[in-house]
Amino acid sequence: MNVFVVAKHKIYSLLSGPQLNRYLQGTTTRKLHLGCGKNLLQGWLNTDLKYRKNRISFLDASKTFPFQNETIDFIFCEHLIEHLSFVQAKNLLGECRRILKANGTIRISMPSIYFLFDLLKNGTHPLNIEYTRWAAQRFLTKAGMGYDEDQAAVYVISNFFRDFGHKVIHSFESIQSLLLKAGFREIEQAKIGVSKTPELCMLEQHGHVIPDEFNRLETLVVEARK
C-alpha cells in the first residue's frame, strides 16, 4: 500500500516516488540518511522534511517509516535526534530497528550535554572561552537578546537548550538507554568521521556549518547494531 504525504499542497507517494523506487531497486547495499538538510551523501537515500525533486525524498523522521521490515543496511542521522521529543525519538529508533536488516547499523551524531556542563564547570579553559565568546556573538548578540558578559556561558548554555528547535540534548547514557529499549546492541561511542565500518566513515558535515574545532567540542557520535 502506498503512503502519501501532503507537502506544500502537493502529494508525494513515498513508496512509488521515482527516486525512491530507483534507489531501492538499483542498490544492493541500502543506506538511509535521515534529516539530510544540505548534506547530500553519495550512494545514500537522502531524506528530509524539505522535499527536493530528484535529490531529497520526503520523510518525517518522527512518524512511521515507509519501508518494509529489514530492508535497510545502514542508517545515519546528524543533528536530528535533538530536535525530537522523548516519544518521537523512541519512535524513530524503534522504526530504525524495524527496517534495518539483521546486523544492520545505525550511526547517530548529535550535540552532547557533556560539553554544555563543561562550558560552565571549566569556564577558564581556552577552547571553552573561545567557544563561549563565539556562540554569544553569533546567537545572542546578533539576535539582539543581550547577556551578562561576566556570565556569558550561562546564557550560551540556556540558549543552546531552547534555541534551534532543540527539544532534548542527550548524553551517551540517555541515547544508550533508548537504543537498548529499542532492541539495539553493541552500542559504542565513535569519533567524528571515524567508524569500524567503512560505509559509516566521513559522513558528518556539521563541521562545515560551524567552525570544526567547535563542532568537535559539541559532538557526540554513537553507533549501534541490530
Better pLDDT: 13 or 176:
176
Contact 179, 186 (CB under 8 A): no
Mean pLDDT for 16-20 is 60
Task: Give the integer Cα–Cα distance in Å for 226 and 223.
Answer: 10
pLDDT for res 195: 97
| Residue of 28, 48, 19 lying closest to 36 (CA atoms) | 48
How do residues 26-40 score in pLDDT, each as one tens digit?
A: 888 999 999 999 899
pLDDT for res 39: 92
pLDDT for res 17: 57
Q: What angle do CA 83, 3, 179 make, to 5 degrees?
A: 40
How do residues 60-103 score in pLDDT, each as one tens digit?
A: 999 999 888 999 999 999 999 999 999 999 999 999 999 999 99
How do residues 133-175 score in pLDDT, each as one tens digit?
A: 999 999 999 888 989 999 999 999 999 999 999 999 999 999 9
Mean pLDDT of the chain: 89
Residue 72 CB-half CA count within 13 A: 26
How do residues 183-197 score in pLDDT, each as one tens digit?
A: 999 999 999 999 999
- Please report which residue ranges of 122-200 form alpha helices under DSSP H: 126-135, 152-162, 172-182
Q: pLDDT confidence of 58, banded at 50, 70, 90?
A: confident
How do residues 75-85 score in pLDDT, each as one tens digit?
A: 999 999 999 99
Query: Domain map of the chain by residue range?
Result: 4-111+170-225, 114-162
Fold for domain 4-111+170-225?
Rossmann fold (3.40.50)
